[in-house]
Structure 1
Amino acid sequence: MFTGIVEELGEVVGLTDTGGDSAVLAVRGPLVTSDARHGDSISVNGVCLTVIDNVDGVFTADVMGETLRRSSLGALEEGSPVNLERAAALGSRLGGHLVQGHVDGVATIVAREPGADWEVVRFSLPASLARYVVEKGSITVDGVSLTVMAVDDETFSVGLIPTTSKLTVLGGKDVGDPVNLEVDVIAKYVEKMIGARNV
């Protein structure tokens, strides 16, 4: 479980195809690896990955084909910056919202509208996720907990403050770039429970 508050901008140092339907991802992140052990969870651009090993500030993780197909991790290459967050610790502050690190879909950046103090960024909204995205609700974009400013049937917008632009990969992404989306899991549970009652 994560909070969507990015701790560090890491760097991909390798994405190795293992010859099957998987790959091994190697990421440099001195902060998140400072206490990382085998089996720990680290969110990479919003995808929960399990640490295989951690050597000199670089951790490796297995990435199965399902994850490569359903997220933007397969498009990473050596030198790509990535958002990193360690799993939340019980008893600590919850700065963002409850994030599982389970990507629901991939969107693209549709527009960026810079302002004097912050920027509005608009993303495509996959039809299968539209019912879970509401104005002023929470959404995770590349592992960043954000508040939805506006939403319609095909897009949604968020506001990026300078800190978010500077300290996450979202500041350097261009129109057309892919991003990982995770909708609020509570909405999915509510939908399932209401559906079960109406059967």
Structure 2
Amino acid sequence: MFTGIVQGTAEVVAIQESEAFRTHVVQLPEALCERLELGASVAHNGVCLTVTAIDGDRISFDLMRETLRVTNLGALRVGDRVNIERAARVGDEIGGHAMSGHVMALAELVELDQTPNNRRLWFEVPPALGRFLFDKGYIGVDGISLTIGAVRPAGAGHGPRFCVDLIPETLARTILVDRVPGDRVNIEVDPQTQAIVETVERVLAARGV
């Protein structure tokens, strides 16, 4: 489990490509290497990946076909940075919200509103995710636990949209500071919201409503 509180960023320092498979190596900050072992779970832009090799602070991870298809990790190049979060431990403070590290879809950044101390980002999601978007609800964006500021329903020529407001601390600690319109981010909807919505849908469908 993850909390959506990004602990730092890491640079991709090497990539090995195979057919429908990729291994990438990131250089982790020293603090995030402490007690790291083979098989440990580490989220990259919100994607739960498994440690496959450790060489000092250079840590390897394998990305299978589904990960490359669903997330933005397949577009990474050497020199890019990713948001990093180690798996939560029992007793850790949950400063964000519970996240599984299983990305559901990609969203496109379609609008950016910059002010001196805040940045508002509008994202467009696939139509199927629109029913999980609620004002003040939780959402995971590139592994960051954020609160939805507002929602716009799908309209002519575009899908459902939501915005988030970022404070300077979030911009300083994550790669969202570098995102520009046209970039695509990993999205994980709040698991509790998903469970409630899908349960209600099943009950209504069973009643023929």
Aligned to 1:158: 164
| Alignment-mate amino acid for residue 54 of structure 1 | I
3-state DSSP class of the match of 1:5? Answer: coil
Q: Structure 1 vs Structure 2: percent identity of aligned residues?
A: 38
Q: Which residue of 1 aligns with 2:43?
A: 43
Q: Give 1:172's match in structure 2, choosing from 178, 188, 191.
A: 178
CA deviation digits over 1:14-49, x for unaligned, max 9? 22112x321111111123222210110000001000
Aligned to 1:64: 64
Is residue 92 from structure 1 mapped to residue 92 from structure 2 by the alignment? yes
Supply the distance in 1 between the matched residues of 2:53 and 2:32 (Cα, whole angstroms): 13
- Aligned to 1:197, what secondary structure does the other structure show? helix
Which residue of structure 1 aligns with residue 26 of structure 2?
A: 27
Contact residue 119 and residue 160 of structure 1 kept, 8 A: yes
Give the alignment of 1:1-199 within 5 angstroms. 1-18=1-18, 20-30=19-29, 31-153=31-153, 154-198=160-204, 199=206
Q: Which ranges in structure 2 are unaligned for 5 or more consecutive residues?
A: 154-159
TM-score normalised by the chain length of structure 1: 0.95
Deviation, 1:191, is 2.9
Q: Tell me the alpha carbon deviations over residues 61-106 of structure 1, each in whole angstroms, 9 at most, x when there is no partner.
A: 1110110010000000000011000001111110000011100110
- Distance in structure 1 (CA, Å) of the matches to 2:33 and 2:133: 33
Moved more, 142-151 or 187-196: 187-196
CA distance in 2, matches of 1:21, 1:116: 43
Mapped contact 1:34–1:57 kept (Cα < 8 A): no
Q: How big is the shift at 1:193? A: 2.6
Report how far residue 115 of structure 1 moved: 1.4
> Quick check: 1:101–1:182 contact (8 Å CA) kept in 2?
yes
Q: TM-score scaled to structure 2, two decimals? A: 0.91
Query: Which piece of structure 1 moves more, 167-176 or 184-193?
Result: 184-193
* Distance in structure 2 (CA, Å) of the matches to 1:129 and 1:193: 15
Counterpart AA for 1:66: E
Give RMSD over aligned pairs: 1.2
Match of 2:156 in 1: none
Q: In the aligned structure 1, how far is the partner of 2:148 from the partner of 2:5?
A: 16
List gaps (5 residues or longer) in structure 1. none
> Segments of 4+ in structure 1 off by > 6 A?
none
Determine if contact 1:33/1:58 at 8 Å carries over to the other structure.
no
